[in-house]
Structure 1
Amino acid sequence: MATATATAAIVALLLGLSGWRGAARDILPPGPVDAAVGKNVTLATLLQNPEYSFIIWNFNDGREQTHVATAGRAGIRVNEPYAGRASVDATSGALRLSALTTDDSGDFSVSVVSADGETEIAEIQLRVLEPVSGVLVSADAAEAVEHNSTLVLTCAANGSFLRFTWLNETRPVVASDSERLSVEESEASSRLTIAGVLRTDLARPIFCSAANQLETEKSAPFTLPVHYGPDEVTVTASDPSRFVRADSDFNLTCATRSSPAAAFTWYQNETLMDSAGPVLPLEAVRRRPLWREMSRYTCRAANAETERVVASPAVSFAVVDGPEAATVNGESAVELRDAVTLRCTAASVPPANFTWKFNGTLTDVKTPTYAIAEAVYKNTGAYTCQARNVVTGKNVSSTHNLSVKEEGALDEGLSDGAIAGIIIGILAALGVAIGVVVYCRQKVPVESPY
């Protein structure tokens, strides 16, 4: 009897080693079964109090098949390579393995041999997993330029049967979200390629998660600078008025989004100014020639990393000042019916408003010129011009005196020089005449009356 039993066991073993398959029922649950290195695992069966002559477990690592253990009426026998690590439950036929190593990963088959020699065989995969560790994200560049750079991020980790997930802070990065994104997977790493990098791609930390069936580990946050901009450049005035008081603290401020921060330069009517930085103070404007005049001011923002330069829209304003001292130019004296034109000037920005007074009485004239078509005696008097800057509120005035005289009163006589010349000429002629007379008297004999 013992000989027959041993013979049956050998036959069943040979059948199992040969990979023979008989009509099968559900002997094992679906796999794979995952377990950690150094831990224990039980490969359970679906058998309930089976009647069998032998239950035989074999292992195939993809290269060769090895006998693990056999359970029979004579007891349980464990093959030498698994001695001390393997056991079979005689009731259910389950195989228990301890102190697992990665070499235990493979296909385990169980052969159930009935008393009449019929054999049923089933397989299940065991995956012995190394723990996940050392999850690290690296990049192929230290920085990127928006729209210009293509960036490759690599996530590497230790462990078995790893799956990788990329996270933009907490949101999963899915390659199908954009034509710019692609992911390549390998057994121990994952590569995320970002073409035409945008600032939003790395605005938040990037994480990589590596996992297998047993555990998950997350990388440290990964950040990388993305240089961008300047974006649209704006200029804001501290006072929106087109007229700025010369003694105010007025300034223009230039702003834009840029990484790194943009460098700013200022232009007056397209001419570079000697002022740099985001703020243009009025003091810098007053150093310019013709600073009082209405001018166009623009700001240009430059990013040395992206090599982009963007100009702002122009802001126009000629600094309010004056009026300076007023001056009236015109005739001081005229004759009756002469035309008179008095002109008042006063440097002012914006241009001054003018009013005229005659002998202290306000007139209706509100232009820089006071005109009289034909002068009469009553036009004689004091003409006062007042210049007012409505923005600064400053007033200046100047008075001019006009005298109206009768016709011919202003005819110009001979000048002093001409008069002196005439007198000298007369005296010279007189001298010549006297000399001639004296000479003649000396030459002509005079008859004696006697």
Structure 2
Amino acid sequence: MLLLLLTVAASFTGLSEGVGVLPDGPLTASVGGSVMFRTNLNPTETPFFAVSWNYENKPIITSTNVFNTTVPEYENRITLFRSTGSLELRNLGLNDNGEYDVIIQPADDFQKIGTTRLVVYDPVSGVLLTASSTDLVEFNSSVRLSCSSSGSSLSFLWMNSSSEVTASDRVQISSSDGGSTLTLVTVTRYDLGPFSCNVSNPVSSAVSEAVKLSVSYGPETVQLQVSPSKEHHKTGSDVQMFCSAVSSPDASFQWFVNGNPLPDTGPELRLMSVQTHQSGSYSCQAFNSKTLRYQTSQPSALSVLDPVSGVLLTTSSTDLVEFNSSVRLSCSSSGSSPSFLWMNSSSEVTASDRVQISSSDGGSTLTLVTVTRYDLGPYSCHVSNPVSSVASISTSLSISYGPENTLLTISPSKHEHVKGSDVQMFCSAVSSPDASFQWFVNENPLPDTGPELRLMSVQTHQSGSYSCQTFNSKTLRYETSQPLALSVIGGSSGLPDGIIAAIVIVCLVIVAGVGVGFWIIRKKKVRQKPTSGGIFTITGGGRKDHTANSEGLHYADLKFLKNKKGKNVREQKESTFTEYAQIKVNNGPAASSPPSTNQESNNTNVRPANNDSGRRSVLVELENVPSDYAQIRVDSSRRPAPPPPTYGLHTQSASRPLPAPRAQTYAQEQNYGDAKLPRSGDGRTDQIELENTPTNYAQIRVNSKKPPLPAPPTYKTHMQQKHRAAPPPGNSQIYAQVNKNPRR
């Protein structure tokens, strides 16, 4: 009747497909569980006019505003929600699987229809994992793992620890029963597990108990270690060896030395206080009782050495002669496998053409062929082996050499020695041991020996060629010095004293006569009218009291100053010109000036100027010249006359005897200066006078229009002006030595 009413209502109101009224299926549920068939309709304020649920086109429940009709087998198993049309089905069984549909008739709308499917599963339970074997051998065994479970629509997932096991060439998973069987072919150590089986269906899942496999493997990677870890061990030390292997179960060990078994077992071998006879090749062998496999380690060499001791260095000889002798040094010691290192002081001795080191016995012998003085040593022998090192006591060689570089010197060192003076000669030579000496004069031996020859109060007959000869008693070698000439001069001539006195008096008279004649000739010179003149001005440093140095020689430059008034200028005509004159000047030093012992000379300049008065006399003024002696050099345009025979003696002012000293010192250095004279056209001879200064004597040499003479030998030596050019060859020269002695 209800179906008829619904059919009639549908004919009047039309039908709706009901798409979206029920969710897409299938819906799943487990046996004994429940399921909610939910529509997607919103609740209405008024219930639907009619709702009807069917299972496989068979009614389950029909509900209207008037009545409800439920099939008896669903009584107390269903609940209908009129506001939405949803249906709850409880206490499910496997026979509840199938298609469900709903028809909803709203009061003011078209019918709504929905269809879905329900699948009911039996839940998973009783999962059990079993193995065909758990005691396996790597690469030899295979194993099958089986998983059993109750439930419907079961699927299986295999796990090795936390990783999923997937099929491969060596791993097989059954496919006919959902994968309940896992087979491992030729197991490896990585197949130990733990393995588990995860069983599931859409409504439940369960995991089996984990199963671990026992896979025996090894031994492999057998290693032998020695402690202390070194190649050589000293006698009496303790040595331990350890053997290890990768093996399951643990391997047992057997020890061998040189291939022979030792009674020792276990992973450790202890050798206490080892001796040299225990040296050898050690190895260990590992054995696995499950796999029945063996593996032996690589051999390890044990070297036990005696330490070096008793090092002794000996020499075939220590008394040697340079270039004649050879020597062999031998080093002996006790100990194992010694090696030898030779040292000369702190330097290593290496082999060369002259140095030989034996190679057959590790270098225990050192041979020096034709020794030299540089092979003295000290030598030491360093003996070592890998466990110790000892050095011998140093040994020095005695090498005789020489004599050589024999040198003869004389004191005082001069060519001529005054009769009655003392002379010493010294002879030296490079020699070891020290040489002995023999003295010779004119190649005749003297009775004197030793390195020093003393000639006290020498006489002329001791003049001659002296030499010394050195001799080395070890090398038996001689060497003679270069000869040295000794010249003894002076002393008595053998004449009576009266004759000698007479000769001296006659010489003095002759010298005095010559001096007087020379002075007379000088006074008679003819004066000439001067064409030009000037004043000689000697310029230098500030005036000082040089009483202590009054006999020193000083040289100055002459500079001519113009004097148009003609004061103190005189000129005389002379047929000859004055060659030499000596001027002595007393300056009257200031009382407050201290004595001076200055050895240096002072330079001044003298400048001649034209004199218009017609006289040629030259006035010489001294300006702040501290020296007592000065040498004046004047250049003029006139060429000088040929020098007198005594020129060389007078110009060597360095060796000129000085006046007798009066508590005075001598200036050994001499300075030269340049003097420049204006050209004299008439060839007159100039007369030089010193104005306002008391003059005792002066020596002046004037050359006019004469070829220039060579510079004195001491010119460059005594010049105190560096790089001063010599006088030009076109000028005549005047050299004067001035002695300026202050009056007392």
TM-score tier (shorter): 0.5 to 0.7
- The number of aligned residues is 322
- Report the Cα distance in structure 1 between the residues aligned to 2:141 and 2:282, rounded to whole angstroms: 34
Could you tell me which of 51, 56, 60 is aligned with 2:53? 56
1:194 and 2:184 aligned: yes
Higher relative CO (CA 8 A, sep ≥ 6), structure 1 or 2?
1
Aligned partners of 2:48 and 2:64 also within 8 Å: no
Q: Percent identity?
A: 27
Query: For residue 300 of structure 1, what is the aligned residue in structure 2?
Result: 285
1:28 aligns with 2:13: no
- Give the one of 66, 75, 80 matched to 1:88: 80
Following superposition, the deviation at residue 250 of structure 1 comes to 0.6
Q: 1:215 offset after TM fit, Å?
A: 4.9
| CA separation of 1:159 and 1:78: change in aligned 2, threshold 3 A | same
Say whether the 8 Å CA contact 1:78–1:87 is kept in structure 2: no
CA RMSD, Structure 1 to Structure 2 (Å): 4.6
CA contact (8 A) 2:233 2:387 kept: no
| Secondary structure in 2 matching 1:200 | helix
User: 1:175: which partner in 2?
Assistant: 166
> Which letter maps to 1:139?
A
Contact 1:156 / 1:189 at 8 angstroms: preserved in 2?
no
Deviation for aligned residue 1:139: 1.7
Match of 1:124 in 2: 117
Q: Secondary structure at the match of 1:81?
A: helix
Aligned-pair CA distance for 1:236: 0.5
Decide whether the 8 Å contact of 2:239 with 2:274 is kept in 1: no
Deviation per residue, 1:299-327 (Å, 9 max, x gap): 22222222322221111125445999xxx
Matching residue within 208, 211, 223 for 1:234:
223
1:102 and 1:248 mapped to 2: Cα distance? Answer: 85
Q: Is 1:112 aligned to residue 103 of structure 2? A: yes
CA 1:75 to 1:246, structure 2 compared with 1: closer, same or farther past 3 Å?
farther
CA gap of 1:25–1:345, structure 2 versus 1, over 3 A, is closer
Q: TM-score when scaled to structure 1? A: 0.57
Residue ranges of structure 2 left out of the alignment (5+ in a row)? 10-15, 310-331, 341-356, 365-382, 391-744
1:63-88: per-residue Cα shift (whole Å, max 9, x none)?
xx865333456533222222221233
Aligned residue number for residue 435 of structure 1: none
Aligned to 1:46: 40
Cα separation, partners in 2 of 1:316 and 1:298, compared to 1, 3 Å: same
Question: Distance between the aligned counterparts of 2:117 and 2:49, measured in 1?
Answer: 20
Alpha-carbon distance between aligned partners in 2 of 1:161 and 1:249, rounded to the nearest angstrom: 72
Q: Assess, with a 3 A threshold, how the Cα gap between structure 1 residues 169 and 293 changes in structure 2: closer, same or farther.
A: closer
Taking structure 1 as reference, are residues 187 and 72 closer, same or farther at Cα in structure 2, changes over 3 Å only? Answer: farther
Q: Distance in 2 between matches of 1:198 and 1:219?
A: 23
- Following TM superposition, by how much is the alpha carbon of 1:255 offset from its aligned partner in structure 2, in angstroms? 0.8
CA contact (8 A) 2:219 2:293 kept: yes
Asked if the contact 1:158/1:188 (under 8 Å) is kept, the reply is no
Q: TM-score, normalised by structure 2?
A: 0.37
1:68 aligns with 2:21: no
Cα contact 2:308–2:385 (8 A) shared by 1 = no
Query: Higher Cα Rg: structure 1 or 2?
Result: 2
Aligned CA distance change for structure 1 residues 150 and 52 (closer, same or farther; 3 Å): farther
Which amino acid in structure 1 is aligned with residue 216 of structure 2? H
Structure-2 change in CA distance of 1:200 and 1:11 (3 Å): farther
Which has the larger displacement, 22-31 or 238-247?
22-31
Distance 1:96 1:236, change over 3 A: same
Q: Structure 1's 8 and 279: CA in aligned 2 closer, same or farther, altered over 3 A?
A: same
- Cα distance in 2 for partners of 1:44, 1:28 equals 6
Q: Structure 1, unaligned stretches of length 5 or more? A: 13-21, 60-64, 325-343, 355-363, 371-387, 396-450
Alpha-carbon offset, residue 58 of structure 1: 0.9
Asked if structure 2 preserves the Cα contact closer than 8 Å seen for 1:267 and 1:299, the reply is yes
1:158 to 1:249, Cα distance in 2 relative to 1, 3 A: farther
CA, structure 1 residues 321+11, in 2 after alignment: closer, same or farther (shift >3 Å)? farther
Q: Which amino acid aligns with 1:140?
A: S
